[in-house]
Amino acid sequence: MKFHWFAEATYPALPTTYPQRHPSGSVDVPAALVDPHRAGELYRMFIRLMQQADRLGWDGLAVNEHHQTTFAMTPSPNLLAAGLASTTENAALLVIGNSLALYNPPVRVAEELAYLDCLSGGRLIAGFVFGTPMDTAFAYGVPPAELRERFHEARELITRAWTEPEPFAFNGRYNRLRYVNVLPRPVQAPPPIWVPGTGSVETWDLVLDEGYCYGYLSFFGLANARPIVRGFWDRVERRGLEPNPHRMAFTQLVCVADTDAEAERLYGDAVRYFFTRQRAPLHYANPPGYTSRASQREVLERAKGVSTEDRLRATRGELSFWEYDELGFIVAGTPERVRQRLHELAVELRVGQLITCMHMGDLAEDVAAMNNELFGTRVAPFLRELWAEYDDPWTPPVSRQRVAAAAPGIPVDAFPSPRGGDA
């Protein structure tokens, strides 16, 4: 099983009246709420935490892209990954990812990701994302109905730019280039590609057609994920493909402490801050044309996970700490409890790539560093052998080799290794 370190760079000093006075944390949030010096401190903290995670044995360090938001202030994942490429040694750089439809021309993404793969010695994972409606339609003005077509055209251009042996011309609907000749090319030919999603059937078909890794990125936990993840594995089965757990990545907030009571004391306020600061008004959430009819139909027919009321209570901060845990929004408690819960989650959902969110909201750096330490030394080693019988072509070979060489001894038979139809 693989572990990838991730956290949303949420601005930690929003006023207590937020979001009541300012109903959106995206697009039109008042700029005066964010102090640039405080934002700089936030970025430096995340770099330190990811460097620590590299030393503790995480398989990947994940960075993402969002725009005009206080919830995830990382407008260029490539910039953050460049800082990590030369200050870390082992973990893959999981750039998850670049919003392809926003770049004109997208060959810039091909160049920057190739640079990262060269700088890191072949440790890049290239994530291609469609982008949220707030990022694409409202912050960058891309018509929602064009989003997928622009994405696929950019994806074709980028992958060809990495692999074509000679300069070529590209004549698409949105991009027309007489000469495409990316230099240097990536060390990996090409890097493994991940595509995140939240349940779109078109994204499922894309990753299965192209052999990409599917990243289910949600902060609403196991109960909410069950029907979506089952839908994905049903599609894998119908198409006669191997149900390799490593083709599925899953995001989970994790809060580890020496005792359950200490977990609530240390993480309770930060968890509430995290969930109450990510709201967006409905008119930004799903503009016409953003979701296809097929995906809308799938959502309506799919069994429901977490109830709408529980989701609203979570974003209003009305759940207790252990209600967040019970519903799967977080996995919290002692190392023993956390590893048992994560083992159950990974087996039920058939997840081979766990994206662990080790910092949330306004959590203090020392607590996040403790979370890293406890997870890296007392949780992850007990789960490493899960799914070990499956190959993992979605993590760079060089990072797999380096992480394995630096890893401490792994407990034998900590849990039985499930096979076959356990999903």
pTM above 0.85, yes or no: yes
Position 302 confidence tier, pLDDT thresholds 50, 70, 90: low
In a domain, 422, yes or no: no
Tell me whether strands 92-99 and 124-129 are parallel, antiparallel or unpaired: parallel
Position 423 confidence tier, pLDDT thresholds 50, 70, 90: very low
Q: How far apart are CA 382 and CA 392, in angstroms?
A: 19
Is the pLDDT reported for residue 86 higher than 80? Answer: yes
Is the pLDDT reported for residue 303 higher than 60? Answer: no
Instruction: Please count the CA atoms within 13 angstroms of the CA of 195 that sit on its side-chain side.
Output: 20
Is the pLDDT reported for residue 306 higher than 80? Answer: no
Instruction: Please count the CA atoms within 13 angstroms of the CA of 192 that sit on its side-chain side.
Output: 25
Most confident of 194-208, 280-294, 329-343: 329-343
Segment 129-183, tens digit of pLDDT: 999 999 999 999 999 999 999 999 999 999 999 999 999 999 999 999 999 999 9
> What tokens does 159 get?
């992958």
* Domain count along the chain: 1
In a domain, 203, yes or no: yes
pLDDT given for residue 224 in this prediction:
84
- Within the chain, how many helices (H) and strands (E) appear? 16, 11
Segment 326-385, tens digit of pLDDT: 999 999 999 999 999 999 999 999 999 999 999 999 999 999 999 999 999 999 999 999
Q: Which amino acid is at 374?
A: L
pLDDT given for residue 199 in this prediction:
81
In a domain, 413, yes or no: no
> What tokens does 360 get?
């949330």
What length is written for the chain? 423
In a domain, 423, yes or no: no
pLDDT given for residue 408 in this prediction:
65
- For 122: left if phi > 0, alpha if psi spans -120 to 50, otherwise beta; the answer is left
The DSSP string of 81-145 is HHHHHTT-SSSEEEEEEEEGGG-SSTHHHHHHHHHHHHHTTS-EEEEEE---HIIIIIIS---GG
Segment 243-283, tens digit of pLDDT: 999 999 999 999 999 999 999 999 999 999 999 887 777 78
In a domain, 420, yes or no: no
Q: State what percent of residues in the chain have pLDDT above 70.
A: 94
Burial state string for 53-66 with b = 16 or more CB within 10 A and e = fewer than 16? bbebbbbbbbbbbb
pLDDT given for residue 301 in this prediction:
64
CB 62 within 8 A of CB 105: no
Residue 350's Cβ-count burial label (10 Å; 0-12, 13-18, 19+) is buried
Position 300 confidence tier, pLDDT thresholds 50, 70, 90: low
Position 299 confidence tier, pLDDT thresholds 50, 70, 90: low
Is the pLDDT reported for residue 24 higher than 90? Answer: no
First to last CA, the chain: 15
What interhelical angle do 221-238 and 335-349 show, nearest 10? 30
In a domain, 140, yes or no: yes
| Alpha-carbon 69 to chain mean position | 17
Q: What is the CATH number of the domain that holds 152?
A: 3.20.20.30
Q: What are phi and psi for residue 166, nearest 5 degrees? A: -130, 160
In a domain, 310, yes or no: yes
In a domain, 131, yes or no: yes
Preceding omega of 97 cis (within 30 degrees of 0): yes
Of 25 and 7, the structure prediction assigns the larger pLDDT to 7
Structural domain for 242, as ranges:
2-406
**Average per-residue pLDDT in the chain?**
92
| Alpha-carbon 101 to chain mean position | 18
pLDDT given for residue 412 in this prediction:
42
> What tokens does 164 get?
């074509």
